[in-house]
A = this chain, B = another copy of it.
């Protein structure tokens, strides 16, 4: 790591997660810029639109995790930035496609790209970003050598597969109206989705770019998974607990979509049978009221009152289900911290290791 990069990623006296995130984000955006072609005639504005989502305010947790993991194991900033850029391009491409798929109106407080430029352009910009993400990953051959470059490509391929499998698993449950999902089944789904996509892949790719050995890579991937599960559960808690106050975003979106959360599963297990039956009746309804062209025409859809009733149910009984979920999130965070103190204890002290440690509290304590 160069003196310049140490300075760029140095913390204040108390660890400032937001500052580390912001600096990692800036470095990653600069790196993405290096992969955009200088000559843009006859490209219809493709490359300008590619930068729209990445330049909107965002935490950019994935590239920060990737950079921290790599530098914590002794890697060089130059060796990891291409992979961080690929992760960020990949993620923003998926956001573009998700927004089209869900018919979302806003992304990061601004209109979604398909609202601004139409569905065909938005889908196509996403496809272009996925293509562009391959360039830094192929350039890794020169910077990191063949073995590491291929290993990183395989992690990306596996991540895309695991996410698709996890997503199908959840869609399959929704379609089959399977609501007797056990916590272990739910956690396996989260492992595949949030786990692989947002935590394991950035961390593992960073570790590979930093030439970490097998045991260290495995410990970091495990740390990332535990962190990811804690993050996802806290996300679900914020979505339910925060929705009353936060009218700016899709309030109670998880309940409209019938998304699986530990909170909802716990409530379904523990409320009286009559309330459970009513909840299952509502969950069997289509998303509504603004269902897209998803083959759901004509089928009965959820109404505002249905979703509010569900929200009251999962928040009710003194927040018992919310507290249950939060307890499991904290337990996973605790195990992540324990890993830092045991299998990852040998990592030398650095701001990057400090960032990883600070993230354990951050995922639980963050307010958004």
Interface residues of A (CB under 8 A from B): 42-46, 49, 94, 97, 100-103, 114-121, 123-125, 127-128, 130-132, 134-135, 138, 141, 146, 150, 153-154, 156-157, 159-161, 163-165, 167-173, 175, 188, 192, 292-296
Residues from chain B with Cβ under 8 Å of A120 in the complex: 101-102, 167, 171, 294
Would you give the shortest CB distance from A221 to chain B, in whole angstroms? 18
Q: How far is the CB of A82 from chain B (nearest CB, A)?
A: 13
In the complex, which residues of chain B have a beta carbon less than 8 angstroms from the beta carbon of A175?
118
Given A119-B294, A170-B44, does the pair A130, B128 have CB atoms closer than 8 Å?
no
Give the Cβ gap from A162 to chain B, nearest Cβ, in Å: 9
* A14 to B62 Cα, complex, angstroms: 58
> How often does this chain occur in the complex, in copies?
2
Return the chain B residue nearest A161 by Cβ: B131
User: Closest 8 interchain pairs by CB?
Assistant: A131-B160, A44-B168, A128-B164, A44-B172, A134-B157, A44-B169, A46-B168, A118-B294
Given that A130-B160, A169-B44 are known contacts, is A117 also in contact with B295, CB under 8 Å in the complex? yes
Chain B residue contacts of A296, Cβ below 8 A: 118
Residues of B near A45 (CB, < 8 A) are 168, 172
Question: Do residues A101 and B117 form an inter-chain contact, with CB atoms below 8 A?
Answer: no
Expressed in whole angstroms, the Cα–Cα distance for A201 and B227 within the complex equals 41
Instruction: Assess whether B168 is in contact with A295, with CB atoms less than 8 Å apart.
Output: no
Chain B residue at minimum C-beta to C-beta distance from A173: B44
Bound together, the chains give a CA A165 to CA B168 distance in angstroms of 31
Q: How far is the CA of A119 from the CA of B297 in the complex (A)?
A: 12
**Min CB gap A155→B, angstroms:** 11
Which residue of chain B has the shortest Cβ distance to A112 in the bound complex?
B295
- Contact yes or no, A128 B160, CB < 8 A: yes
Complex Cα gap A121–B167 (Å): 8
Listed by A's residue number, 16 A-B pairs whose Cβ atoms lie within 8 Å are: A42-B165, A43-B168, A44-B165, A44-B170, A46-B165, A102-B120, A114-B293, A114-B294, A118-B175, A119-B295, A128-B161, A128-B168, A131-B159, A131-B160, A292-B293, A293-B293
List the B side residues contacting A169 at CB < 8 Å: 42-44
Q: Is the CB of B293 within 8 A of A119?
A: yes
CB neighbours (8 Å) of A46 from chain B are 164-165, 168
Q: State the Cβ distance, A305 to closest chain B Cβ, in Å.
A: 25
B103 with A293: CB separation less than 8 A: yes
Q: For the complex, what is the distance from the CA of A163 to the CA of B124, rounded to whole Å?
A: 9
A106 to chain B, nearest CB (A): 14
A220 nearest CB across to chain B (Å): 22
Task: Determine the chain B residues whose CB is within 8 A of the CB of A125 once the complex forms.
Answer: 164, 168
Which of A125, A127, A141 gathers most chain B CB within 10 Å? A127
The one of B43, B114, B138, B154 that contacts A295, using a Cβ cutoff of 8 Å: B114
**What distance in Å separates the Cβ of A281 from its nearest Cβ neighbour in chain B?**
20
Residues of B within 8 A of A42 (CB): 165, 169, 188, 192
- Among candidates B97, B116, B127, B141, residue contacting A123 with C-beta atoms closer than 8 Å: B97
Residues of B within 8 A of A43 (CB): 165, 168-169
Given A100-B101, A118-B296, A131-B157, list of 14 further CB < 8 A pairs? A44-B173, A49-B168, A101-B120, A115-B295, A118-B171, A120-B167, A120-B171, A121-B171, A124-B168, A125-B168, A128-B165, A131-B160, A138-B154, A293-B293
